[in-house]
Structure 1
Amino acid sequence: MSFIDKKVSDKRAIVILAKSGIQVSEEEANIILDFLYLVAKNYNKPEEDKEAESLRRNRTLEKRP
């Protein structure tokens, strides 16, 4: 699977993972990035209108004395 508009290169992913102590090859980094892009592409955002309004109302109620 190949994503044309990748914003993170394989080498950058290797550096980021190395900072967390995870050593991966360029091929493994490519597989990880493909997986993450696939998850992000298929992620369905929750309906913000009902959920956001409920959260705003609850947060406002908590601040009142």
Structure 2
Amino acid sequence: MNFIDKNVSVEQAIILLAKNGIQVSEKEAKIILELLYLVLKSYNKPKEKKY
């Protein structure tokens, strides 16, 4: 899965999670970031108007 505008690197995610007591590998951090980008993508979809 490729997102053009990835603003958070895997290394930044690992550091941020570690600051909050969560230790993850690079593979796990990539999965977490992909999930967050998917949530963001679905959240930003315009809602359909029901008539």
Same fold (TM over 0.5): yes
- Which stretches in structure 2 are left out of the alignment for 5+ residues? none
Matched, 1:43 2:48: no
Decide which structure has greater helix share.
1
The count of aligned residue pairs is 46
Rg larger for: 1
Q: CA RMSD in A?
A: 1.7
Per the normalisation by structure 2, the TM-score is 0.80
Structure possessing the higher relative contact order (Cα contacts under 8 Å, 6 or more residues apart): 2
Distance 1:39 1:25, change over 3 A: same
- Which stretches in structure 1 are left out of the alignment for 5+ residues? 48-65
The sequence identity of aligned pairs, in percent, is 67
Runs of 4+ in 1 over 3 A off after TM superposition: none
